Amino acid sequence: MTEQTFTESDRTDGIEPDMVTADHAPPSEAPTSGTQPMNMIQALNSALHVKMAEDPNVLSFGEDAGFFGGVFRVTDQLQQKHGLTRSFDAPISECGIVAAAIGMGAYGLRPVVEIQFADYIYPAYDQIVSEAAKLRYRSAGMFTAPITVRSPYGGGIFGGQTHSQSPESLFTHIAGLKVVIPSNPYDAKGLLTAAIEDDDPVIFFEPKRLYNGPFDGWHKNPVSPWKTQDLAQVPTGKYTLPIGKARIMREGSDVTILCYGTMVWVSLAGAEHAGVDAEVIDLRTLVPLDIETIEASVKKTGRCVIVHEAPKTSGFGGELSALVQERCFYHLEAPIARVTGWDTPYPHAFEWEYFPGPERVAEALKSVMTGGR
């Protein structure tokens, strides 16, 4: 692959305020106080502080999540502010963490647990998949697990194989789980608040590449801070965003890009780079999926590109592609294209060859604009 060099003037700092359409789902409750610029970590932290202050049934725990506030500091000061029994450190036992949360949820609490990296979620897989996801169904509603499992996920931070994975499709496949992935501070707080209030178990993946800034997709560019972004103006009070509602990040008429998490920003950059008038849809929640928004957009544009970090085979893009084909086949003017991670383990030294970047997105956009490869 040929490395291209970009100058400062070539880069896009991500979305401009006018690229964000009125499709912001309105806050369900008007913020009681003003807004302030926050990065995603601060926004998530704010969601936890606000919910814990409001509801004594909300508690938070995980590895290093108590006194220290989490290795990424998402749970910072929760213990100091809300007490030792409300935010505490857990043993290095992801299975135990999730299982304990399930028991607490069955009791009537709303625990929010942190799995330090999504790559560590596998020891907890059985408890999430066989237990949390199934309690309501198998007990005919007698027992439920209204838990939130938070976990930083995805690549782009040189984390190697075990700090970079995107396991979302392992959970979207499981009946009974909701899967939420925000792409910016404003959504992160509103969606996390909604996840905590949700009566079903929610897997909440936080794109760690976006924790501190809105990664513009070009890894050689300096990272701009979130505060330069409109979406970093986060209400300090409580608000929720509905789980199951996508956000149109950029309106366009040529092609629909379906993406989530870090790939929202990569897709915006890719569209810019390709010079294609793409409609960029941030799915925000994979389950439940906002099929209406997807269907309306693809029927309008007639083309679809799907972008995710996870490997291609059996990735969520496969599901999206099938849904678009089932519902929009006669509107399609080109085959659906997928831009994804490769079907390899996540390689440390080849991170930027693995990570889907704006160039690969642009390539796919150009390809579907000319009728496919």
Partner 1 sequence: MTQHKNAQPLSLRVPEPSGRPGDTPDFSHLKLDAPGAVDRPPVGSTPYDMRDHAFRLIRVLDDAGVAVGPWNPRLDAETLRKGLKAMILTRAFDDRMHRAHRQGKTSFYMKCTGEEAIAVAQGMILSREDMGFPTYRQQGLLIARGYPLVDMMNQIYSNAEDPIKGRQLPIMYSSRDYGFFTISGNLGTQVPQAVGWAMASAYKGDDKIAISWIGDGATAEGDFHNALTFASVYRAPVILNIVNNQWAISSFQGIAGGLETTFASKAIGYGLPALRVDGNDFLAVWAATQWAEERARSNQGATVIELFTYRGAPHSTSDDPSRYRPGDEHEKWPLGDPIARLKQHLIALGEWSDEQHSEAEAEAVAQVRAAGKESEAIGTLGQSRPSVKTMFEEVFATEDWRLIEQRREVGV
- SS3 category, 285: strand
Coil, helix or strand for 112? strand
Please give the distance of CA 98 from its chain centroid, rounded to a whole number: 20
- By the rule CB under 8 A, 320 interacts with partner 1: no
User: Which of 140, 330, 349, 370 is in the footprint of partner 1 by CB under 8 A?
Assistant: 140
CA distance 132 to 94: 14
Say whether residue 200 binds partner 1 (CB under 8 A): yes
Among 163, 219, 308, 331, the one annotated catalytic: 163
Among 10, 16, 54, 199, binds partner 1 (CB under 8 A): 199
Using CB under 8 A as the binding rule, whether residue 360 contacts partner 1 is answered as no
The interface region with partner 1, picked from 70-78, 282-290, 300-308, 348-356 by CB under 8 A, is 282-290
| Residue 80 makes contact with partner 1 by CB under 8 A | no
Which tokens sit at 333?
């003017």
Contact pick of 119, 131, 216, 309 for partner 1 (by CB under 8 A): 131
- To the query of whether residue 163 is one of the catalytic residues in this protein, the response is yes
Two tokens, residue 317:
């893009």
Q: Which span (7-15, 28-36, 120-128, 155-163) binds partner 1, by CB under 8 A?
A: 120-128
Q: Which of 80, 25, 38 is nearest to 194 (CA)?
A: 25
Distance set, CA 357 to CA 67, 201, 364 (Å): 37, 32, 11
Is residue 320 within 8 Å of 306, Cβ to Cβ? yes
Q: Which of 131, 140, 151, 119 is nearest to 201 (CA)?
A: 131
Site for partner 1 in 243-262 (CB under 8 A): 244
Q: Which of 9, 108, 330, 349 binds partner 1 (CB under 8 A)?
A: 108
The stretch among 70-78, 97-105, 250-258, 347-355 that binds partner 1 (CB under 8 A) is: 97-105
Question: Distance between CA 82 and CA 80 in Å, rounded?
Answer: 6
Peptide bond into 288 cis (omega under 30): yes
123 binds partner 1 (CB under 8 A): yes
Told to check if 178 binds partner 1 by CB under 8 A, we report yes
Binding segment for partner 1 among 67-75, 182-190, 192-200, 301-309 (CB under 8 A)?
192-200
Of 6, 120, 143, 352, the one binding partner 1 (CB under 8 A) is 143
Residues 55-74 that bind partner 1 (CB under 8 A): 59
Q: How far is the CB of 157 from partner 1 (least distance, A)?
A: 29
CB 304 within 8 A of CB 369: no
Q: Please give the Cα distance from 74 to 278 (Å, whole number).
A: 33
Q: How far is the CB of 66 from partner 1 (least distance, A)?
A: 12
In the bound state with partner 1, the residue whose beta carbon lies nearer, of 99 and 296, is: 99
- Asked if 242 is part of the footprint of partner 1 (rule: CB under 8 A), the reply reads no
E-only strand ranges, the chain: 35-37, 58-62, 87-89, 110-114, 148-153, 178-180, 202-207, 233-235, 247-250, 255-259, 278-282, 285-287, 304-311, 337-341
Q: List the strands of the sheet with 285-287, edge to edge.
A: 87-89, 58-62, 110-114, 148-153, 202-207, 178-180, 285-287
Q: Which residues contact 198 (CB under 8 A, 6 or more apart)?
A: 146, 148, 178, 243
Q: How far is the CB of 103 from partner 1 (least distance, A)?
A: 3
- Using rule CB under 8 A, residue 287 touches partner 1: yes
Stretch that binds partner 1, among 17-25, 104-112, 258-266, 333-341 (CB under 8 A): 104-112
Binding residues (CB under 8 A) for partner 1: these are 59, 85-86, 90-91, 93, 95-96, 99-104, 106-109, 111, 123, 126-127, 130-131, 134-144, 175-176, 178, 198-200, 244, 287-289, 291
> Would you name the residues annotated as active-site residues?
163
